[in-house]
Amino acid sequence: MANDLPIPIPDLTGKVAIVTGGHTGLGFGTSIELAKHGARVYIASRSASKFNDAKRDILAEYPEANVRFLSLNLADLGSVKTAAERFLEQESNLHLLVNNAGVMCVPYEETVDGFEMQIAVNYIGHFLFTKLLLPVIQQAAESSDIGAVRIVNVSSDGHAKLAPKEGILFSDINMKDNFSVWARYGHSKLANVLHSRELAKRYPDILSVSVHPGTVKTNLSTGPVSSTPLYRFIKPLVELCAPGPRKGAANILFAATSPSLKPELHNGAYLLPVGKISAASKAGSDLKMASELWEWTEKALADREFM
C-alpha cells in the first residue's frame, strides 16, 4: 500500500477527526494520513474486527498514531444516534468530519427505518450523524482558525451522470419502482452535494464541501456493482488506470486539510480530483433544492423521533 500522495498535508496535532467507513478503501487512505499528521482519528465503522485490522496496519506504519473505534451502522438510525452520543461522551470538539462510508448498486432493500439502502447509508444516516455532531463541530470552529474546521461529504461524479435529471424525488425518495440501482446511487450522491451546500449556508463558520474522489480501486467495485453490465464494460479501464485507495484519497484529504480552501470563497463547493473547484450538476447547484432537502430530511427524521 505505497503512499505517494500528490498533496501536502499540514500538521494536525490537537485536531479531532471522524472518518466514517475509515477502516477500508478511501476511508482508510484518509484515516491513516490524518493520523500520521497528528490528528486523533475516530474510525466510525460497523465492524470492530475490521477496525482492529486497520488500526494494526496504521500503527505498523506510524506507531504514534492515535486511532479509536466508534461503532456506527449508517443503515440503522438508532445506531447513528448512539454513535454520536458515544462520541459526545468522549470529546467536546470535532475539527474534521469526513462522511465517507457508502454503498453502491446494492439491490433494492429497505432499512429498519423504512429507507432504501443507498439513500439511507449514503445520505440520511450521514445527515443525522452530522446534525447530532454539529454542536461540537461549532465548538471547535469557535476556537480554531477560520476554515480549519470542516465537514467533507464524499459524493461522486455519479451525482451528475446517474441521478434523475429533475433532481431529488421528494415524493419517491426510495425510488423503488422503475429505477435502476445506478439511478438510486446517483440520487444519494446528489443528496450529498446538496447537503454540503445547505450546511455551508446554515453554518458559515464551518467549511463544508463535497468531493468526487475520482475512480479508485476499492471494495466498492467488487460488490454488487461488479455484476452490472455498465461496470463490466468499464472494468478493464478501472483495473488498468485507477489508483489504489491510498493515492485515491488525495481529493478527500485536500478537502479536509488544504489551507488553500477558504470559507468565504469555497463554502459549499464541489471538488473534482485533486482540489479542483468544479461545477456540480444543475440539480447539485440548486440552492432551493438544497434547502428543501434539508427540511424534508429533518421532517423524515422527526417523524421517526430522531430529531
Task: List the one residue out of 39, 31, 41 whose CA is nearest residue 3.
Answer: 31
DSSP string, 274-303: TTEEE---TGGG-HHHHHHHHHHHHHHHHH
23 is a contact residue toward ligand NAP (CB under 6 A):
yes
191 is a contact residue toward ligand NAP (CB under 6 A):
no
CB of 204 to ligand NAP, least distance (A): 25
CB of 213 to ligand NAP, least distance (A): 5
Of residues 17, 70, 104, 168, which one binds ligand NAP by CB under 6 A?
104
Write down the catalytic residue from 185, 203, 247, 270: 185
47 is a contact residue toward ligand NAP (CB under 6 A):
yes
Environment class of residue 2 by beta-carbon count within 10 Å: exposed (0-12), middle (13-18) or buried (19+)? exposed
Interacting residues of 202 by C-beta distance below 8 A, sequence separation 6+: 294
Cell 467507513 found at = 21
Q: Is 262 a catalytic residue?
A: no
219 is a contact residue toward ligand NAP (CB under 6 A):
yes
Q: Quick check: 189 and 133 in contact, CB under 8 A?
A: no
Of residues 15, 37, 40, 46, which one binds ligand NAP by CB under 6 A?
46
Write down the catalytic residue from 15, 55, 189, 247: 189
The 135-154 contact track toward ligand NAP, x by CB under 6 A, reads: -------------------x
Look at phi and psi of residue 38 and say left if phi exceeds 0, alpha if psi is from -120 to 50, else beta: left
- Give the interface with ligand NAP as residue ranges (CB under 6 A): 21, 23-27, 46-47, 50, 72-75, 100-104, 121, 154, 156, 212-213, 215-216, 218-220, 245
